[in-house]
A = this chain, B = another copy of it.
Amino acid sequence: MDWKVEIKILLKESILDPQGQAVEGGLEKLDYNNVSEVQVGKHIELELEDLPSKEEASKQVDEMCQRLLANPVIEDYTFEIEELEG
């Protein structure tokens, strides 16, 4: 079975997010003064082939996040997996 994966990666809450602050500042300059708590992270989409179950797919995605896609020291990640129509 093939799987469609969407991964969301954000800095942990305790880590300063300069990109988020920059975006918030930019929005303020455009007179959007009702915006707060801006966080900027990564969104990754990918397809996984030939895994027999959602559990196996989830296991591989978690491992890929730990090893390459995210930096687990400073980032949190979450992901969603859906079966791809054959």
A44 CB contact (under 8 Å) in B38, B44, B50, B60: B38
Residues of B contacting A50 in the complex (Cβ-Cβ under 8 angstroms): 34
Q: How far is the CA of A5 from the CA of B44 in the complex (A)?
A: 18
Docked complex: A13-41 residues within 8 A CB-CB of B:
23-24, 26-27, 30, 32, 34-41
A68 CB contact (under 8 Å) in B27, B45, B48, B68: B27
Q: Which residues of A are in contact with B by a Cβ distance under 8 Å?
A: 8-10, 23-24, 26-27, 30, 32, 34-51, 60, 64, 67-69
Shortest A26–chain B CB gap in Å is 5
Closest residue on chain B to residue A46 by CB atoms: B38
Q: How far is the CA of A43 from the CA of B31 in the complex (A)?
A: 22
